[in-house]
Amino acid sequence: MTSPRKNLALQFSTLLVVTACFVVMGGALLLSQNLERMLTLWGDDIQMTVYLSEDITTDQQAEIEKTLKETPEVGSVSLVTQEKALNDFRGQLASYAPDLAKDDELLKLIPASLQVSLSDKVATIDQSATLQAVASKVKTLSGVDEVSYGQDWVEKYSTLVTAIQMVIRALGLVIIIASIFVMSNMIRASVEARREEIAVLELIGATSRMIRRPFIAEGAMLGGTASALSMVLCFGIFTAVKHFTVTKLSFLQLGEHLAFLNVFTLVAFVLGGIILGAVGSFLCVRSVNTGWAAKAEA
């Protein structure tokens, strides 16, 4: 039989271990959320450029614009004429190659184009596939010379987001299993410490619910306390990281975009901890009230 002092020490150590597990899980959620926010902000700058042929007709240009505007995934379409593109190019070259910027022959080398932005309804993770689909559709239209949207960069950051989300899901699954295992061990020790009490309750005809309820409540309280503490620790770590980003890495301009988990996620996280604790406890006490304690005492 486990002594009360040892059982208390086991409960405290279990609380620390489970809290640490939940801190890792909460930190992974924060990383995923804020990284996706950053990628979404960067993704807002992604545009597809549709270069028009030099001999394009007015009807062909109108048909291209109509097709793009009628595509649900497209948010906006704006025309960049040869003159505007040349002026922008000259402005960029003015301080580097002033003589080249004055060359009127450049007008012949710079085509007119359509700048296409995706709709806000397109998720960041789907931008790469959406751009590919729209580009494939537009390339078949008469009057289109080339379509460019920074394919390599879009695909790389889309792959990065997907990989991080997969890693976080796998990490979450491992932590959930580990947390249930750790909490189950503590409840098992608590059951062993109260074996005589359980044997008496079995002998006097106590129902399964009456015997199991205190242990399940103990596990649920452990899971809820650990998850709540982990959120407090995560908030402290997040505050420190955000302060460091704002004060030391202000040139990145990322601090103002960092955000903590919303209230719904916090409540769901704590409820998840309570459920995990209750499940871990139930796995240990499901055989209680089957004569288990009395047989062990015999």
pLDDT value at 182 more than 50: yes
pLDDT class for 244, splitting at 50, 70, 90?
Answer: confident
pLDDT value at 194 more than 80: no
Q: What pTM, to 2 d.p., does this model score?
A: 0.62
Least confident of 12-21, 40-49, 64-73: 40-49
- Residue 223 to residue 269: CA distance in whole angstroms: 10
pLDDT value at 106 more than 70: no
**What domains does the chain contain, in order, with CATH numbers?**
4-41+157-297 (no CATH), 47-149 (3.30.70.3040)
Q: What is the mean pLDDT of residues 207-218?
A: 79
Q: What is the pLDDT of residue 224?
A: 92
pLDDT per residue as tens digits for the range 25-62 = 888 888 888 877 776 665 555 678 888 888 888 888 88
pLDDT class for 64, splitting at 50, 70, 90?
Answer: confident
Q: What is the pLDDT of residue 229?
A: 94
* The most confident of 98-102, 163-167, 228-232, 278-282, by mean pLDDT: 228-232
With beta carbons less than 8 A apart as the criterion, state whether 220 and 273 touch. Answer: no
pLDDT class for 101, splitting at 50, 70, 90?
Answer: very low
